[in-house]
Structure 1
Amino acid sequence: MSSKLAAREKFIGVFDQMVEELKEILISYKMPQTAIDWFVKNLDYNTPGGKLNRGLSVVDTYLILNNKTIEDLSDAEYKKVAILGWAIELLQAYFLVADDMMDQSKTRRGHPCWYLVEGVNNIAINDSFMLEGAIYILLKKHFRNDSYYVDLLDLFHEVTFQTELGQLLDLVTADENIVDLDKFSLEKHSFIVIFKTAYYSFYLPVALAMFMSGINDEKDLKQVRDILIPLGEYFQIQDDYLDCFGTPEQIGKIGTDIKDNKCSWVVNQALLKVNKEQRQLLDNNYGKKDDESEARVKKLFNELGIQKTYEEYEESIVAKLREQIEQVDESRGLKKEVLTAFLGKVYKRSK
């Protein structure tokens, strides 16, 4: 087994323990077995099915910051850092269950969205709340006596709110039922992706590992924020690009940004390039639910050379981020390698 696969298996082992702990709490509340079974199914279906990049990044970052390998950690130390990783995966699951309902998405990670599973429907709204609630039950159980407990709570609450602000702007900018491309702009897109994705996917894993490692100086938190937030924006721009130009096999879902009237980087770039006739074609076809309209929009994106624009953007942002990483001050325990590792995972990815 590769070391990467072994690390994933070990991480998933902690998820199984975590589910048992959450089950015990429900049992202590004397919840009926049907409700317990439902919650376990919700956890199992929605939390561990993705790439687990966010959760595994907490572990990876902690190891780098402490000059350790997984083998160096005691079972107790590994479990604590893995619990922080799973707390992000629970946050992600909470967002996705709700997001799929808002977008009326059909598939997620190659399976039907949770609300479309037989018998679930609108119960998925409450299920999303329960996934979020589980984060705080676990943090209390495992970190209540640690000096950085309040830092963890603050961080999760703040990042959750930031993500919801990003989602709000996304929803009001790109109403699926009222297509108005005049509402779109690269500035709005930037705000949406920074708040909706960058904070919880990039800054949160590193900040959690930093707190657990005793690195909590605001200067260091700012250093990682200043690099990870633009890196997170790049990641989401890449996601927008793959949604349009990638295949379902690559990205694990059917791309829906065009049909969903998403304020994506791709359409914003197109809006900067179109002539009057092409703009009319976009107005007539973007955000429509039929395959023919989507195909017309994709053809236009190809004609406008969006792929080349993306490649140029990618090279310029990566060069800038590498330069910023070089200038990081490591004097208080922060390590450039943490940021280089994140950049390495994103650069040129195809899924």
Structure 2
Amino acid sequence: MASEKEIRRERFLNVFPKLVEELNASLLAYDMPKEARDWYAHSLNYNTPGGKLNRGLSVVDTYAILSNKTVEQLGQEEYEKVAILGWCIELLQAYFLVADDMMDKSITRRGQPCWYKVPEVGEIAINDAFMLEAAIYKLLKSHFRNEKYYIDITELFHEVTFQTELGQLMDLITAPEDKVDLSKFSLKKHSFIVTFKTAYYSFYLPVALAMYVAGITDEKDLKQARDVLIPLGEYFQIQDDYLDCFGTPEQIGKIGTDIQDNKCSWVINKALELASAEQRKTLDENYGKKDSVAEAKCKKIFNDLKIEQLYHEYEESIAKDLKAKISQVDESRGFKADVLTAFLNKVYKRSK
């Protein structure tokens, strides 16, 4: 029997084919030939629904909490409205990933070839990425144009997209895969990269969208959400960095590659902060090399510096801080601390 999580995921997935149909109808209105419409539909279906869908589902979950309902109690029309916003975030994610995979020269994504690696796609993927982003604004216009918060959510998507691109730029110029320079790394840069590249669109955006639909739009409430969700997003990425280095493939479902890929991760930045001159020299000579022996030398230093223990201390400290912030949330205008607790519970001590 399907779990509640699977049923919720299925209901969310059922909305997507209607959106593909609607977007394709807009191409038809421009007299686009069938081969172009088929290409767009293929790109939408290949790149958008294949992941965990956490960001999109979070819009629905958050809206339900703010409405004092369970997800199952949301009527179909009400459900579809928030699910469409969820799919707009998944389209944003798809746009980022198609472009990111080309920049990183990645081979696979979500267990299948990256879109640009699909036969006959190649560099057409650049235009396909633009069209995935454009789909967001087509859907916002057709479903939300008459809502008083239409301009707010449109501007929110533009702002968060720009913030994510700033994070990506900082990442690309700090840690190019083919040119290792650890002097460019720092915990401050790492914090900027992960806050802008991950926290805004993965944590703040889903909640802010649900808040607008629920009519909770006071800047004080948006700030209450931001003040917890941005550091929580940073914690999530630090956790990811930790798991990439110290998690087993069985546990995290992949082989960690951050060391060989010259990633500006929390682990290396923490090590650089603590390393002796001799350890620093070893890291300079071995980090970012496509070589398992070099990787093992880096890992030995991480172990000698007790990075794993320092991560667990950080995790307890940030969780304590976030719980304290959540306990101070002012619910007088309709915002609910439960929204933030639900996010923290998904992240705290996760192991994959």
Q: TM-score, normalised by structure 2?
A: 0.96
Take 1:117 and 1:248, find their aligned partners in 2: how far apart are those partners?
A: 26
Q: What residue in structure 2 maps to residue 178 of structure 1?
A: 179
User: What amino acid does structure 2 have at the position aligned with 1:149?
Assistant: Y
- Listed as ranges, the matches of 1:190-269 within 5 Å are 190-269=191-270
Q: Residues 250 and 103 from structure 1, CA distance in 2 versus in 1: closer, same or farther, beyond 3 angstroms?
A: farther
Secondary structure in 2 aligned to 1:179? Answer: coil
Q: What residue in structure 1 maps to residue 141 of structure 2?
A: 140
Q: Which moved more, 1:40-49 or 1:300-309?
A: 300-309
Number of residue equivalences: 351
Take 2:198 and 2:187, find their aligned partners in 1: how far apart are those partners?
A: 16
Q: What residue in structure 1 maps to residue 128 of structure 2?
A: 127
User: What amino acid does structure 1 have at the position aligned with 2:225?
Assistant: V
Question: Is 1:149 the counterpart of 2:175 in the alignment?
Answer: no
Q: What residue in structure 2 maps to residue 58 of structure 1?
A: 59
Q: Which moved more, 1:175-184 or 1:312-321?
A: 175-184
- Listed as ranges, the matches of 1:6-45 within 5 Å are 6-45=7-46
User: What amino acid does structure 1 have at the position aligned with 2:109?
Assistant: R
User: What amino acid does structure 2 have at the position aligned with 1:278?
Assistant: Q
Q: Could you give the per-residue CA deviations for residues 261-282 of structure 1, whole angstroms, max 9, x where no partner exists?
A: 1111010011122222221111
Counterpart contact for 1:101–1:115, Cα < 8 Å: yes
Q: Residues 191 and 308 from structure 1, CA distance in 2 versus in 1: closer, same or farther, beyond 3 angstroms?
A: same
Q: Residues 253 and 149 from structure 1, CA distance in 2 versus in 1: closer, same or farther, beyond 3 angstroms?
A: farther
Q: CA deviation at 1:35?
A: 1.7
What percent of counterpart residues are identical?
72
Take 2:141 and 2:251, find their aligned partners in 1: how far apart are those partners?
A: 38
Q: CA deviation at 1:252?
A: 4.6
Counterpart contact for 1:259–1:289, Cα < 8 Å: yes
Q: CA deviation at 1:192?
A: 0.7
User: What amino acid does structure 2 have at the position aligned with 1:82?
Assistant: A
Take 2:120 and 2:37, find their aligned partners in 1: how far apart are those partners?
A: 16
Counterpart contact for 1:259–1:290, Cα < 8 Å: yes
Counterpart contact for 1:97–1:115, Cα < 8 Å: yes
Take 1:332 and 1:76, find their aligned partners in 2: how far apart are those partners?
A: 25
User: What amino acid does structure 2 have at the position aligned with 1:123?
Assistant: I
Q: What residue in structure 1 maps to residue 292 of structure 2?
A: 291
Counterpart contact for 1:227–1:324, Cα < 8 Å: yes
Take 1:254 and 1:295, find their aligned partners in 2: how far apart are those partners?
A: 14
Q: CA deviation at 1:250?
A: 4.2
Q: CA deviation at 1:253?
A: 4.4
Structure 2: stretches of 5+ with no match in the other structure: none
Counterpart contact for 1:173–1:183, Cα < 8 Å: yes
Take 1:20 and 1:298, find their aligned partners in 2: how far apart are those partners?
A: 49
User: What amino acid does structure 2 have at the position aligned with 1:240?
Assistant: D
Take 1:161 and 1:340, find their aligned partners in 2: how far apart are those partners?
A: 28
Secondary structure in 2 aligned to 1:177? Answer: coil
Secondary structure in 2 aligned to 1:278? Answer: helix
User: What amino acid does structure 2 have at the position aligned with 1:308?
Assistant: Q
Question: Is 1:168 the counterpart of 2:155 in the alignment?
Answer: no
Q: Residues 37 and 248 from structure 1, CA distance in 2 versus in 1: closer, same or farther, beyond 3 angstroms?
A: farther
User: What amino acid does structure 1 have at the position aligned with 2:141?
Assistant: K
Take 2:343 and 2:171, find their aligned partners in 1: how far apart are those partners?
A: 25
Q: What residue in structure 1 maps to residue 95 of structure 2?
A: 94
Take 1:105 and 1:288, find their aligned partners in 2: how far apart are those partners?
A: 17
User: What amino acid does structure 1 have at the position aligned with 2:171?
Assistant: D
Q: What residue in structure 2 maps to residue 279 of structure 1?
A: 280
Take 1:113 and 1:21, find their aligned partners in 2: how far apart are those partners?
A: 25
Q: CA deviation at 1:73?
A: 2.1
User: What amino acid does structure 2 have at the position aligned with 1:125?
Assistant: I
Take 2:109 and 2:254, find their aligned partners in 1: how far apart are those partners?
A: 6
Q: CA deviation at 1:41?
A: 1.6
Take 2:148 and 2:254, find their aligned partners in 1: how far apart are those partners?
A: 41
Q: CA deviation at 1:45?
A: 1.5
Q: CA deviation at 1:291?
A: 3.1
Take 1:122 and 1:7, find their aligned partners in 2: how far apart are those partners?
A: 36
Counterpart contact for 1:109–1:252, Cα < 8 Å: no
Q: Could you give the per-residue CA deviations for residues 187-225 of structure 1, whole angstroms, max 9, x where no partner exists?
A: 110011111100000000000000000000000001110
Q: TM-score, normalised by structure 1?
A: 0.96
Secondary structure in 2 aligned to 1:40? Answer: helix
Q: Which moved more, 1:50-59 or 1:256-265?
A: 256-265
